[in-house]
Amino acid sequence: MNFTILMLNMMLKGAQSSKGGFWAGFVGFLSSILEGIYHIIPNYGVAVIIFTVLIRLVLLPLDLKSKKSMQKMNEIQPEVDKINQKYKNDPEKRNKKTMELYQKNKINPAGGCLPVLIQFPILIAMFSALRRISDAQIAQNAVQSFLWIKNIWAPDSPMVDIFGKRIAFFTGNWNGLFILPLLAGITSYYQIQLTNKQNTNAQANEQMGMMNTIMPIMSIWFCSMYTSAFSLYWVASNIFQIVYMIIYDRKNNKEKENTVVKEGANK
């Protein structure tokens, strides 16, 4: 839970920062990419989705590295469990033997976390870029429809109008149907389930139990508070990750099956 709150606080601070320098330049660079896509395809909803896919493709090598590291950790997990059981009353020796096992298999314990940490500044900058464009559009009272949403610069909700002002439920010029926040929660939950499925470390999955509940709820809350443009990014990013994880899982399982078949044929 602390991790989630920290992430959201970082996103808010990044979005509100007006300082110059490298960070402002990077945020401006991402903003210009989104604006460039919009000039080619004059619909911000479509532009945000394309923008999200492009960024996820750029980050794909880091995701792949993280998953390969997790896969190696899963492969030696039974041996780690044996060490934990054997030296459960000797933490110093348990840690020493575990590190020796990692070194023997050429595994970096932080290999799965480092790529994720590297992605954080990029994701925060993306949020800031979307927020910058949204603020500019809102200041101009701009209206940009997308599918069922009357204005993507306001939340996808039947409790706000097209300029984001609070209204009674489904009265006046309501803006949306609350579909994107719900999709954000559902896709966040499913993505976490896929991650847990790929991770055979039962202890780690148990520790993530609270996150499995909190993150989808936080996704719904966050996407109901901010613009539909940001919600589109969130949902598109989740769907991209889900598709990628399913493809990776299937390919990985197929490679394992081929390895088993080859080993059986060589016997």
**Rounded mean pLDDT of 248-260?**
72
Tell me what pLDDT residue 202 has: 55
**Residue 68, number of CB atoms within 10 A of its CB:** 15
Overall pTM > 0.85: no
Q: pLDDT tens, 174-210?
A: 999 999 999 999 999 888 888 777 665 555 555 556 6
Computed over every residue of the chain, the mean pLDDT equals 79
Tell me what pLDDT residue 18 has: 44
User: Residue 87 — pLDDT band, cuts 50, 70, 90?
Assistant: confident
Instruction: Tell me which residue range forms the domain holding 126.
Output: 2-260
**What are the CA-CA distances from residue 232 to residues 91, 155, 209 (Å)?**
47, 10, 26
Nearest to 173 by CA among 189, 194, 157: 157
Q: Is residue 267 part of a domain?
A: no
Domain tally, the chain: 1
Q: Is residue 266 part of a domain?
A: no
Tell me what pLDDT residue 264 has: 60
Q: Which distant-in-sequence residues (6+ apart) come within 8 Å of 16 by Cβ?
A: none
Q: Is residue 72 part of a domain?
A: yes
DSSP 226: S
CA angle, residues 204, 209, 211, in degrees to nearest 5: 105
Q: Is residue 205 part of a domain?
A: yes
Q: Is residue 52 part of a domain?
A: yes
**Residue 99, number of CB atoms within 10 A of its CB:** 12
Q: Is residue 201 part of a domain?
A: yes
- Contact yes or no for 137/123 (Cβ under 8 A): no
Q: Is the pLDDT of residue 19 over 80?
A: no
Q: Is the pLDDT of residue 123 over 90?
A: no
Tell me what pLDDT residue 3 has: 40
Q: Is residue 265 part of a domain?
A: no
Tell me what pLDDT residue 187 has: 94
Q: Is residue 96 part of a domain?
A: yes
